[in-house]
Amino acid sequence: MAFAAVLLPMAVNADPAARVTLVKEGAPVALTEPERAQIAERVRAMMVGCAISSVSQPHIFEGRSLTKEWDEIQAGPHVEVRYSKPLENPRGRVRISEVVIGLKDPNLIGPELSRHDGRVVGHVKCDGHRALAIMCATALRGHLLPGQSRACEIYDKIGEPRDPK
């Protein structure tokens, strides 16, 4: 019962049809429906608030092949979320149907890439507290690298991000 109460606040805006995949060591990890809902909502909350994208500030991403990065992330440990309806990121001026986030950085997650209508978009200036919320989600905790797990100790002290009023 306490577990459901923890998920409820994070699932208010959840897309029940979102498809969530966690890949570790080259294979998908089985996730429960509450775990998928939690990840989908936490990814949504972070991505719609990223301040800069490769659409709004293309010069920041010069020299990067975002399509190649997407493929490289998918080849390693990652979280992928596909939303049934595109998300809107007004600050980054993009629509988001899919998100892929790498999990191989020894301390954090990233990069954060999205895709809509086949166009891969890079994102920066995303809320670090929300990134921690994704990384420290129940489903991911058992699959984290040691440095990532240490970062979750900080997250446990500061708690979940609060929605702006």
pLDDT at 152 > cutoff 80: yes
Say what the pTM is.
0.90
| Cα of 163 vs its chain's centroid, Å | 17
Domain ranges, ordered by start, for the chain: 2-158
User: What pLDDT does 11 receive?
Assistant: 46
50 vs 53: CA distance, rounded Å: 7
Pair 116, 95: CB distance under 8 Å: yes
Give residue 92's pLDDT: 82
Terminal CA-to-CA distance of the chain, rounded, Å?
A: 28
> Which pLDDT tens digit goes with each residue over 12-33?
456 889 999 999 999 999 999 9
pLDDT band at 3 (very low <50, low <70, confident <90, very high): very low
